[in-house]
Structure 1
Amino acid sequence: MTASPGAGSRPVPEATDPGAVARGYHLRTKHRLGHYAAGPETLDWDAQPNPFREFSGCPKLALPVMAEDLAVRFDEMLTPGGVPPAPPTLGSVALLLELSFGLAAWKETGPDRWAVRCNPSSGNLHPTEAYVLARNIAGLEDGLHHYVSRDHALEHRAADPGAPDEPARLWVGLSSIHWREAWKYGERAFRYCQLDLGHALGALRYAAAALGWRVHLLTALPSAAVAARLGLDRAPDFAGAEAEEADVLVAIDMGVAGFEAMIPNAPAGPWAGRANCLDRHPMYRWPVIDVVSAATRASGGVLDALPAPSDLPAPLASGTAPASQVLLGRRSAQRFEAGFVMPAADFFALADALLPRCAAPFDMWPHAPQVHPVFFVHRVQGLATGLYALPRRADAEGPLRRMLRADFAWDDVPGAPAHLPLRRLVEADARGVMRTICCHQAIAGDSCVALSFVADFALELEVDPWRYRALHWEAGLLGHVLYLEAERAGLRGTGIGCFFDDALHELLGLEGERFQSLYQFTVGRPLHDGRILSLPAYPGRRPPPAPAQEPLA
């Protein structure tokens, strides 16, 4: 890549402490009212990087399209034990990938055509790649496979036969191609890649729940070990192509007897495949992304324990929506109906869904909640406009009270369920303010509700610089919950990564680095553009007849 003059060639400050690198990167990449974080000076949309990674020279297996035959309701899959485990077959693995990382539709207007995926992404750029490690899955070769969402197919990168008497096992690995985001967003792209990773984890957990499966994050596995298991450390396979950053490996509990969240060995090989080049003419360089990426890699340690069972009641939201309809129907709203008023029941259900129950998706998250939403209520039936806070764990309200503005009231909210720790901070019309703070985007004010996800930032980085990634993953996971809960309620959500960090902090009264806002989100009733056609994701693809003894759950 050749450096372009201007923002892209800013020098990277030297720092040896990884925590200081992460903090410095976060401060450096804040958008400010006077100027944006360093990014490209121009974009050539006709030269946008290829959104699909492929490995040439690999055996390729087309997967069956199974979602239409899934007879599971969305509320059933969020109930522990509500869906019996699907058998570990090629068809069930195909459905897991279809509902998490597959295409939901193709969109078309005039000469433009683009794909919409189940896992959302900043700018629809999709830096996240998915891999599968399989052992003794009926119909699927053992070893490492790369998932190509465009084709709903697996590329067999490396063989690694398991023992014949070994139970069926499945792992999913996730990586990021930072250039996909940096092409548009410059230095701030690393943040967006981590938010996307959180959305991807959420998409995977929900898809697994639809199959009656569970997900275990192997977060203590060192990043280098993840790279070895996904083949991302094989430099010749990426010669002349954009590198992938190893993010996380997860073990899938398919309900098979003897399951344990064990760490697989690196594939023995032989290996096949060479990565394609996504952008043949990159115009900029953003070396700070490589610096912060190296500083925040996982160093390894003891595996984290899953959270203890909670005493929260069942979720407030109900209904009979099919799981596949919600998971495949998720979209990002481009515009909202500015006069629509959200029913109070829908608002409380959205807030309630963010509480850390021991059910999908939070039963996979092995850390105490560190990210807490602040709601900017614009139009909710029966609620005063203004700011509201939802501490997601009991001992978080005290620190939030001390760090947010001293004149915030912290009143109970009339009509809120007793178990919901929602607090009204101040009554105010914040529609115009939120438009400005969210980079002058109308959706922040036209929505019914806008949210800021505030993280306990500095203390987490002191524990481990890798937590910089984890905080963004948690924020992205919360955003994914809102996407699906909005979809279930007949509404739509939109994640917003572009916001003026310190202007928002000033509004909330946050000073110093203890708490930082990592992500914004909006929910409302969408306005649909009739000029845009929606086309099937995989036209003409149907599943083969399922054996009578192995029905899908």
Structure 2
Amino acid sequence: MATQQPISILQYHQRTKHFLDHYAQGPGTLDWADQPDPFRRFEGCTRFQLPLAGQVSFPDFSLLQQGETIEAQAFSLKSLGLLMELAFGLSAWKQYGGDRWALRCNPSSGNLHPTEAYLINTAAEDLPAGLYHYLSHDHVLEKRGEWNTLPEFQGLLIGLSSIHWREAWKYGERAFRYCQHDIGHALAALSYAAAIQGWRVEILAEVSDADISGLLGLDREQDFLPKETESPDVLCRIQTGAFESASGMGSIDLADLAIDHWFGKANRLSHYHHYQWPVIDEAAQATIKPRTSEHCEPRASDHRLVLKPASQPAVDIIRQRRSAQQFDGQTPLALTEFFHLLQAVMPCSQVPFDLWPWTPKIHLFLFVHRVEGLPPGLYALPRDPERLETLKETMQDAFIWEPVDGTPEQLDLYCLLRADCRKAAKTLSCHQGIASDGAFSLAMVAEFGDELENEPWRYRRLFWESGLIGQALYLEAETFGMRGTGIGCFFDDAVHEVLGITESRFQSIYHFTVGKALEDKRLQTLPAYFHLNQAE
């Protein structure tokens, strides 16, 4: 019998597309009684309680919007607690009848939260040196490992991983895509949380997945249940300004950080695992990243937003972010606010894109429904001006590519078609009204190109970049009293047909929408950590 060839990442992407007449493979039913536990715990670890930030009035979100320099805060357990809380912690609880569920500062497809965060500390004097897992439910650090001798490296590293099973429970084979979206959102949330304290996030682009797995203990099979393992995604250094002069800003000797003593076993997330999705494991295998020589420094820019920035505390904006479930279908967005939102997702040094050292690969195609002073229609926003001609050659010949008057500098927005696109936007986004009832919706179209054949691990980065864009839209929309929602369900090739895409050179990988949200009055909202006070 011939051995079956492992799936390539391009084959995975094609296999997991939704079509107008059928959806990608997913579970036939959902066993709600066996929904994966959204909180990973390591039993048998020493726990260190992080302080909750409480009310924090400084800085205003405007300082982040304008790229202003914020004085770096001293590194301490308090500042570390603020970082983890605003990046990965709880933002609120919702309750309906006897059901209660947590919301977090980093959004997730289906609120399933496959992303796990780890911290390597060699510097904080009020936290023992070691490797920690962050448990958002209790706002604690679980000590997973320590060293016999303190490493030479001084500083703070954050590692992110994904539990693919959490997403696959609901979304089946397409879940690998959604896990990568969530990593992008988590990176952006980390960037905002760091910027509030005058810190920056640096992606350690050169490290391999094997490096991350060994460093975080993800390769310790004895510590995890077989179907609930974690896949390594990304490792970041937090630049606080306190340690960089001592340790330098070059590459880190990861061998120096190898843990000598391990603690804890991962909790069980589900009991039955009724459905199996081996193609997800194949996709993860196909996109394993090796070590590379691509160390990049963050870029500098004088980019500024044109609109009068929001004066609300940045902490409040982060905590109040929600995914809209329904829009009113009426409220328009001011043209200046629309321009502001688009300028906020352009590549520059502004948060969260200051952590992204690579050339942008994501371009936006917008279905404009209710923007004052802008005719309804289909618009294009190339995020790399050098790709404009290629996009024109790829898309429909009938598109007019007319520059929009009055756009701010560094924002090249083009009208492709003047028409009422509400019905098309709704249909393309799996018949979801949120795509047509807001002020606008958009498709994030990624450059696939030949590099995915040679370096398939870059596939994951495309989704990370789209997550950065989504998180920026989420927070910026909140400053106008509007709300956003990420849309992972769309008919891939139907979108391509509308745009005129006939080859895999460009692919739509994420949709998003912004509008005036309708609040569900049946839901009760509870403070993020009210349960900790009850325990006391």
SS at match of 1:392: coil
Distance (Å, rounded) in 2 between the aligned partners of 1:289 and 1:219:
23
Distance in 2 (CA, whole Å) between partners of 1:505 and 1:71 is: 44
8 Å CA contact 1:251–1:261 kept in 2: the answer is no
Q: Structure 1 CA distance, aligned partners of 2:144 and 2:174? A: 32
Determine what percentage of the aligned residue pairs are the same residue.
48
Tell me how far apart the structure 2 counterparts of residues 48 and 247 of structure 1 sit (CA, whole Å): 24
SS at match of 1:399: helix
The answer to whether the 8 Å contact 2:89/2:105 transfers is yes
Q: 1:182-219 CA deviation, whole Å, 9 max, x = no partner?
A: 00000000000000110000000110001100111012
Provide the residue aligned with 1:250 in structure 2.
236
- Residues 214 and 513 of structure 1: CA distance in aligned 2, closer, same or farther (over 3 Å): same
SS in structure 2 at match of 1:100? helix
- In structure 2, the residue matched to 1:345 is 336
1:524 is displaced (CA, Å) by 0.2
Counterparts of residues 266-345 of structure 1 (less than 5 Å): 266-306=257-297, 308-314=299-305, 316=307, 318-345=309-336
In the TM superposition, residue 48 of structure 1 has moved relative to its aligned partner by 0.8
Distance 1:331 1:251, change over 3 A: same
What is the match of residue 472 of structure 1?
463
Question: Which residue does 1:403 correspond to in 2?
Answer: 394
Rate the CA distance shift 1:245–1:536 in 2: closer, same or farther, 3 A.
Answer: same
CA contact (8 A) 2:299 2:348 kept: no
Residue of structure 1 aligned with 2:213, choices 227, 230, 236: 227
Is 2:385 the counterpart of 1:394?
yes
Residue matched to 2:123: 136
**Contact 1:142/1:162 (CA < 8 Å) preserved in 2?**
no
Question: Partner residue of 2:199?
Answer: 213
Does the Cα contact within 8 Å between 2:452 and 2:458 map onto a contact in 1?
yes
CA deviation map 1:30-62 (0-9, x unaligned):
000110000000012232111110000000111
Change (3 A) 1:200 1:317: farther
Structure 2 partner of 1:5: none
Aligned to 1:178: 164
Distance 2:153 2:221 in 1: 33
Cα offset, 1:411, TM superposition: 0.7
In the alignment, the residues of structure 1 paired with residue 153 and residue 291 of structure 2 have an alpha-carbon distance, to the nearest angstrom, of 26
Between the aligned partners of 2:181 and 2:226, the Cα distance in structure 1 is 27
1:157 offset after TM fit, Å? 0.6
- Please state if 1:86 is matched with 2:86: no
The residue that corresponds to 2:475 in the other structure is 484
Partner of 1:228: helix, strand, or coil? helix
Q: Distance in 1 between matches of 2:489 and 2:520?
A: 23
Alignment RMSD, CA only? 1.8
Amino acid at match of 1:197: I
> CA offset at residue 457 of structure 1?
1.0
Q: CA deviation at 1:415?
A: 2.6
Over 3 Å counting, the alpha-carbon distance change for 1:284 and 1:419 in structure 2 is same
Q: Is 1:147 the counterpart of 2:134 in the alignment? A: yes
Name the residue aligned to 1:3: none
Report the TM-score, using the length of structure 2 for normalisation: 0.95
Number of equivalences: 527
Residue range with higher mean Cα deviation, 252-261 or 216-225: 252-261
Give per-residue Cα distances to partners, 1:155-174, cap 9 Å, x unaligned: 0010136649x674000000
- 1:15 aligned partner: 5
Question: What letter corresponds to residue 108 of structure 1 in structure 2?
Answer: Q
Whether the 8 Å CA contact 1:317–1:349 is kept in 2: the answer is: no
Is the partner of 1:69 in helix, strand or coil? coil
User: Any conservation in 2 of the 1:130–1:172 contact (CA below 8 Å)?
Assistant: yes
Q: Matched residues in 1 for 2:16 and 2:426: separation?
A: 20
Structure 2 CA distance for aligned equivalents of residues 168 and 88 of structure 1: 12
Looking at structure 2, the residues matched to 73 and 176 of structure 1 have their Cα atoms a distance apart, in angstroms, of 32
Q: Which residue type is aligned with residue 175 of structure 2?
A: A
**Corresponding residue for 1:527?**
518
* Most deviating of 354-363 and 465-474: 354-363
Q: Which moved more, 1:312-321 or 1:356-365?
A: 312-321
| Amino acid in structure 1 at the alignment position of 2:388 | E
Match of 1:378 in 2: 369
Cα shift at 1:304? 3.0
Could you tell me whether the CA contact under 8 Å between 2:129 and 2:150 is conserved in 1? no
| Cα deviation code 1:395-418 (max 9, x no counterpart) | 011111111111111111123224
Distance, in Å, in 2 between the alignment partners of 1:272 and 1:167 is: 22
Aligned counterpart for 1:120 among listed residues 90, 107, 128: 107
| Aligned counterpart for 1:193 among listed residues 152, 174, 179 | 179
Comparing 234-243 and 310-319, the one that deviates more: 310-319
| Alpha-carbon distance change, 161 to 207 in structure 1, aligned in 2, over 3 angstroms | farther
Asked whether the equivalents of residues 205 and 296 of structure 2 are also in contact (C-alpha less than 8 Å), the reply is no
Question: CA–CA distance in 2 between the matches of 1:395 and 1:317?
Answer: 29
Q: 1: distance between equivalents of 2:172 and 2:284?
A: 14
Partner SS for 1:98: helix
Contact 2:299–2:357 (CA<8 Å) still a contact in 1? no
Query: 1:91-129 deviations in whole A, cap 9, x for unaligned?
Result: 111100000100000000111100000000000000000
Segments of 5+ residues of structure 1 without an aligned counterpart are: 1-11, 543-553
Residue 294 of structure 1 deviates from its aligned partner by: 0.8
Q: Distance in 1 between matches of 2:60 and 2:148?
A: 36
Alpha-carbon distance in structure 1 between the residues aligned to 2:149 and 2:134: 21
Preserved CA contact (<8 Å) 1:135 1:161: no
- CA distance 1:532–1:139, shift in 2 (3 Å): same
* TM-score, length of structure 1 as denominator length: 0.92
| C-alpha separation in 1, matches of 2:68 and 2:260 | 37
In the alignment, the residues of structure 2 paired with residue 277 and residue 243 of structure 1 have an alpha-carbon distance, to the nearest angstrom, of 10
Give 1:546's aligned residue: none
Asked whether the 8 Å contact 1:456–1:516 carries over to 2, the reply is yes
Q: Does 1:29 align with 2:16?
A: yes
Separation in 1 of the partners of 2:358 and 2:28? 39
In the alignment, the residues of structure 2 paired with residue 57 and residue 95 of structure 1 have an alpha-carbon distance, to the nearest angstrom, of 25
Give the match for residue 433 of structure 1: 424
Corresponding residue SS for 1:35: coil
For structure 2, list consecutive stretches of 5 or more residues without a partner in the other structure: none
